[in-house]
Structure 1
């Protein structure tokens, strides 16, 4: 089996587009297509279906993906074992404009010597992310497993930092002039968050948020991306959404959108880091210390029930040492 064909399949599955996979691998889209076609003939199954937005995994493709990641990770480890030095620290973020990516970029700007590879796995199921960490395909991921007891023994989850939420509205929304808002003031207003994936960590977050504060959170309709959502907010008199205070968004100046902090209590999304329990990448230590240096949210802060308490780097190293000696 051609391992480069398997690598092309994995990156196309994670990025959702053959051209993006080709750009990352440094080959043409035609080369990626040929590799995947050869792999499909060898396996005698279809791995992808084409859509207007790119490619999507078939059921056979979904079944093959975790094993393909293991193959690619094994090849990478074999090459790294005979190559001087080691590969870059590879961390998965939910999006390149997310709070996680912003914080990592801030760290890298202060430490440009850091060999850092920021990637985005196109999966909503945290089990797939855990499998990628186990396989060594990534060194850590900004994901949360809402029931930590389900984590395998060789993987751990630690608190990274809290991301306070803000209300994002257009200039004609009834709350647009507010400087701050309390959760009680959000009641009866439509908070639109399209594309909430069922059984994902953020689905659990919004379910608990709506129940605890009697909020009207609407996930109806397809998710056409942030640009479309921002366009709708700019023209709406009744639609708002929630964003993280560190999330980075760009919109035309004539949209005149308003980001309004939510206080008393602050509504915090807890960001966790999933990483190996034994022998985590040494580059993670300084980044975890950087998380600890971030300003904490106010004392009056709401978090979902599965939020974890902050932990210092030494606790992470202690866990890893204990696992290594077990």
Structure 2
């Protein structure tokens, strides 16, 4: 059904005259007559009766009028649902306890008026495809993994370098250290069952191992952070890497230690990705907020893989 014809019908019913409705719609009276004639053909009924005073609704016109108004309101809602700024900003943070989630919490605190949808997508390919299709507006990623450059229509900006820390149980050989160097970690077993083959963080740890001769084990099922903490707390031979901003709580009896890593400090690089043609006004607000509040990157004494985008 032609919505312009329905809109014209409703305007005539409101004005009571074809001529006044034409003026209200900024079209000719002839165009109004053609629209109503086409609508009447589609419906198979007469909608108006011409009178000396103008136009009166027929019985069928009276029956159709409330439905016509419902159609027009539905059309207005449909347009409003996709109008820039009228829907929530959709952002992928990968995981709920990581640094990206913390950055978005800070953004929400600074801009509570902006409605947000926060999602967690595992693979960078899924995130990039979702950005390109419009399913999400932005994603936090460590870009770009070797051999997988971003598509030309995807923009990115480096927003945060997150230091890695060593997490040990109380009986680990390094548990009493105030800090450890990467060289001191050589020969120690670092257990990280959450490394997903093919992910950007798998590429990150592959480079870290190759650069500094570390031993990272990703064996065994990944039962989540609680099981990881239980195992590290009870196994003196195992430690794990934990990002500085990862929010975790464990029982006091675990006696876990977070130990800074130095000389150099390995940092996990977080970038914001978005489509260059995305018109959502809140996206620009998010980028400005991150530029003003994020600590920055490439500080002296830190390490990140050479394939990471530096801007």
Query: Is the TM value for this pair above 0.5?
Result: yes
CA distance in 1, matches of 2:189, 2:307: 25
Of the structure 1 ranges 255-264 and 283-292, higher mean CA displacement relative to structure 2 is found in 283-292
Q: Which runs of 4+ in 1 moved over 3 A?
A: 82-85, 147-150
Distance 1:181 1:79, change over 3 A: farther
Q: 1:225 matched to which residue of 2?
A: 224
C-alpha distance in 2 between matches for 1:174 and 1:294: 35
| 1:182-201 map, 5 Å | 182-201=181-200
- What corresponds to 1:68 in structure 2? none
State the alpha-carbon separation in 2 of the partners of residues 189 and 149 from structure 1: 31
Return the offset for 1:154: 2.0
2:79 match: 81
Partner residue in 2 for 1:205: 204
CA displacement, residues 97-137 of structure 1 (integer Å, 9 cap, x when unaligned): 0111012112222332222221112x32x222111111111
- Aligned-CA RMSD value: 2.0
Distance in 1 (alpha carbons) for counterparts of 2:287 and 2:178: 33
Q: What do the CA deviations read for 1:251-302 (whole angstroms, capped 9, x no partner)?
A: 1111121111112211011112221012353212232233333334641110
- Residue 134 (structure 2) aligns with: 136
Contact 1:139–1:280 (Cα < 8 Å) also in 2: no
1:309 and 2:300 are equivalent in the alignment: no
Question: C-alpha distance in 2, partners of 1:237/1:149?
Answer: 38
Q: Is the 8 A contact 1:195 1:221 kept in 2?
A: no
* Secondary structure at 2:166 match in 1: strand
Written as runs of structure 1 = structure 2, the 5 A alignment for 1:144-159 is 144-147=143-146, 150-159=149-158
Give the greater-gyration-radius structure (CA): 2
Residues 148, 130 of structure 1: CA spacing in aligned structure 2 closer, same or farther, 3 A cutoff?
A: farther
- Matched residue pairs, number? 231
Which structure 2 residues correspond to residues 256-271 of structure 1 after superposition, within 5 A? 256-271=255-270
What is the deviation of 1:157?
2.6
Alpha-carbon distance change, 309 to 151 in structure 1, aligned in 2, over 3 angstroms? closer
The secondary structure found in structure 2 opposite 1:230 is: helix
Give the number of the structure with larger relative contact order, counting CA–CA contacts within 8 Å between residues 6 or more apart: 2
Distance 1:197 1:269 in 2: 16
State the TM-score, normalizing by the size of structure 2: 0.69
Q: Post-superposition shift, 1:207?
A: 0.4
Counterpart CA distance in 1 for 2:103 and 2:117 is 14
Structure 1: 5+ residue runs without aligned partners?
A: 1-77, 311-326
**Consecutive unaligned residues in structure 2, runs of 5 or more:** 1-75
Give the secondary structure class of the aligned counterpart of 1:271.
strand
